[in-house]
């Protein structure tokens, strides 16, 4: 069933993105008076064909659905019959350079517009997200230096010298605001509610480099979702957790006197104390436990790092017990270092909030989120080119299908957000100045607009071959990364 969901979700995602992208080219070409000969979804042998009696465009669905194209009337096309004189004004190559730029750019622009619409729908219909409550930060992190102790709820953020603050409504909202400040190397002020009221905390992000701003930058700053219940979801036979007497359903309250409500921080502490005795404060129900569905923000299989959705154990308030445990030293396959593991599966139930905006605000936020993600994608591509980011960040169709299925199972909001993210990636990718992509053609036309001379066919052929080699190389790397994630090598 999961495989079927992944296949269907992937087909829907690719179909929507390709249709929107190519329809962008098609609509602007028609607006500019260019005759469109074929609108194809997919490549290879046609499965379905229909010719519009009004425009004469052939609409096609082909056997290989990974892409599509719009074929326009063009004198430069080889192997076609001579174009009648009366049809020449409708040929693509006869259009002004600015019209050609508009037609080529329309595809990526359509992808960005789709992302804005999808994000706006998500914001307008509402989405359930973790609340912006902080877990106890690790020592010496930026959050700890700023003065956070854990349990505070961030309600607003502003630049150091700004007069007005922007409200923070959820954990995702906080992450995006800090991401923007990190990219701009700013010092910001976070307003947070704690036990003693609302206080301001200065967070210095000026020392962050482009290399520091990635998917884990919040954790490195010391920001993890908190305010929830960290429970033991399972215990491995023969593990340190079993020997110490940990049981499924136990709620972990503290480790060596440090309050804990987040799986990531707990795992990091255990990993850094291999072979060293630890004292866990555990809340254990006296009688009976009930199973409830929960949002598992962190789940660790034998203290393996990861974030997942899952089942969480909950229990009635019980007595507190101190349990002494010694993490077993094991080799971390990722780093080759000896780390501590206790052999317990963890789950975190974090407080959630339903975030919903009005139509105008949703549209504004949708445009802002699209811009931020597009800028982030461009910077990531740049970092990969100069070697500051790993090429492992490239993903291919297998990974896209996997995430399409996962997001579809999480619900409409997650799938629409995923679709918007991939649409932005497709738009950015096509704008890269690589021949055979839209960005390569735009580069030719911009040179023509500046110099007044068309890039010669000879040079276009040379660049096209180089661009094709780049695309093949990127596709091979993305496919290798897909396979590496699939079989874990």
Structurally, how many domains does the chain consist of?
2
Give the per-residue pLDDT at 232.
92
Q: Is residue 236 part of a domain?
A: yes
Tally Cβ neighbours within 10 Å of residue 395. Answer: 18
Give the per-residue pLDDT at 287.
43
Give the per-residue pLDDT at 424.
93
Q: Which position among 6, 22, 152, 345 bears the catalytic label?
A: 22
Q: Is residue 154 part of a domain?
A: yes
Residue by residue, DSSP assigns 381-392 as: HHHHHHTSS-GG
Q: Is residue 150 part of a domain?
A: yes
| Domain-ending residue, one of 349, 372, 389 | 349
Shared domain check, 207 and 259: no
Three-state DSSP string of 294-348: ECEEEEECCCCCCCCCEEEEECCCCEEEEEEECCEEEECCCCCCEEEECCEEEEE
Shared domain check, 345 and 233: yes
User: If we measure between CA atoms, which residue out of 345, 429, 342 comes closest to residue 393?
Assistant: 429
Angle between helices 97-125 and 412-431 (to 10 degrees): 160
Give the per-residue pLDDT at 244.
92
Q: Is 152 noted as a catalytic residue in this protein?
A: no
pLDDT in tens, the chain (489 residues): 666 777 788 888 888 999 999 999 999 999 999 999 999 998 888 889 999 998 899 999 998 877 889 999 998 876 677 888 888 899 998 999 999 999 999 999 999 999 999 999 999 998 888 899 998 888 888 898 999 988 899 999 998 888 888 899 898 889 888 888 887 778 899 999 988 889 999 998 887 766 666 667 888 888 988 888 889 999 999 999 999 999 999 999 999 988 888 888 888 889 999 999 999 999 987 544 433 333 333 333 334 333 333 333 334 467 889 999 999 998 887 677 889 999 999 988 888 888 888 999 999 999 998 998 898 888 878 777 777 666 776 777 777 777 778 787 778 888 899 999 999 999 999 998 888 889 999 999 999 999 988 888 788 888 888 888 888 887 888 777 777 766 655
Q: How far is the C-alpha of 6 from the C-alpha of 253, rounded, in Å?
A: 38
- pTM across the whole model: 0.75
Q: How far is the C-alpha of 270 from the C-alpha of 278, rounded, in Å?
A: 8
Which range of residues forms the domain containing residue 147? 142-221
| Domain-ending residue, one of 185, 200, 221 | 221
Q: Is residue 166 part of a domain?
A: yes
Shared domain check, 259 and 340: yes
Shared domain check, 204 and 152: yes
Give the per-residue pLDDT at 300.
38
Shared domain check, 248 and 197: no
Q: Could you tell me which residues come within 8 angstroms of residue 161 by beta carbon, excluding any fewer than 6 positions away?
A: none
Shared domain check, 343 and 246: yes
Q: How far is the C-alpha of 105 from the C-alpha of 160, rounded, in Å?
A: 38
Shared domain check, 261 and 344: yes
Q: Is residue 416 part of a domain?
A: no
Shared domain check, 272 and 311: yes
Alpha carbon distances (Å) from 252 to 73, 195, 305: 68, 22, 17
Shared domain check, 244 and 341: yes
Shared domain check, 206 and 258: no
Here the CATH number for the domain that contains residue 285 is: 2.30.42.10
Give the per-residue pLDDT at 486.
64
Shared domain check, 324 and 252: yes
Shared domain check, 278 and 169: no
Q: Is residue 156 part of a domain?
A: yes
Q: Is residue 361 part of a domain?
A: no
| Domain-ending residue, one of 221, 245, 273 | 221
Give the per-residue pLDDT at 334.
66
């Amino acid at each position: 069933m999961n495989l079927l969901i992944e296949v269907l979700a992937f087909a829907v995602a690719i179909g929507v993105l390709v249709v929107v992208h190519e329809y962008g080219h098609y609509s602007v070409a028609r607006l500019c008076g260019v005759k469109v000969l074929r609108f194809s979804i997919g490549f290879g042998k046609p499965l379905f064909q229909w010719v519009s009696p009004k425009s004469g465009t052939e609409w096609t669905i082909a056997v290989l659905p990974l892409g599509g194209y719009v074929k326009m009337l063009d004198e430069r096309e080889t192997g076609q019959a001579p174009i009648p004189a009366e049809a020449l004004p409708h040929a693509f190559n006869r259009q002004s350079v600015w019209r050609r730029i508009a037609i080529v750019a329309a595809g990526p622009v359509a992808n960005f517009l789709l992302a804005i619409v999808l994000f706006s729908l998500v914001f307008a219909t509402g989405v359930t997200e973790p609340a912006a409550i902080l877990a106890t930060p690790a020592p010496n992190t930026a959050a700890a230096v700023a003065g956070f102790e854990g349990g505070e709820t961030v309600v607003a953020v502003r630049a150091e010298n700004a007069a007005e603050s922007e409200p923070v409504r959820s954990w995702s909202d906080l992450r995006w605001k800090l991401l923007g400040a990190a990219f701009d190397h700013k010092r910001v002020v976070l307003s947070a509610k704690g036990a003693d009221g609302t206080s301001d905390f200065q967070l210095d992000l000026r020392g962050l480099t482009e290399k520091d701003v990635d998917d884990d930058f919040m954790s490195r700053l010391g920001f993890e979702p908190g305010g929830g219940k960290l429970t033991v979801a399972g215990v491995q036979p023969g593990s340190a957790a079993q020997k110490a007497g940990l049981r499924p359903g136990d709620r972990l309250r503290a480790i060596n006197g440090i309050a804990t409500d987040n799986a990531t921080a707990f795992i990091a502490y255990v990993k850094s104390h291999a072979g060293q005795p630890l004292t866990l404060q555990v809340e254990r129900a006296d009688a009976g436990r009930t199973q409830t569905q929960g949002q598992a923000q962190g789940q660790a299989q034998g203290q393996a790092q990861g974030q997942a959705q899952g089942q969480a154990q909950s229990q009635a308030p019980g007595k507190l017990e101190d349990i002494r445990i010694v993490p077993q030293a094991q080799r971390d396959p990722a780093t080759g270092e000896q780390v501590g593991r206790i052999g317990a599966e963890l789950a975190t139930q974090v407080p959630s909030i339903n975030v919903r905006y009005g139509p105008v605000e949703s549209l504004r936020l949708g445009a802002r989120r699209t811009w931020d993600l597009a800028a982030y994608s461009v910077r990531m591509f740049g970092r990969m080119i100069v070697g500051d980011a790993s090429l492992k960040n490239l993903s291919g169709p297998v990974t896209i299908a996997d995430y399409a299925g996962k997001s579809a199972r999480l619900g409409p909001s997650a799938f629409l957000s995923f679709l918007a993210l991939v649409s932005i990636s497709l738009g950015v990718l096509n704008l890269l100045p690589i021949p055979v992509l839209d960005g390569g053609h735009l580069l030719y036309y911009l040179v023509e607009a500046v110099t007044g001379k068309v890039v010669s066919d000879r040079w276009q052929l040379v660049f096209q071959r180089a661009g094709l080699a780049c695309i093949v190389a990127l596709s091979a790397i993305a496919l290798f990364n897909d396979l590496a994630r699939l079989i874990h090598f």
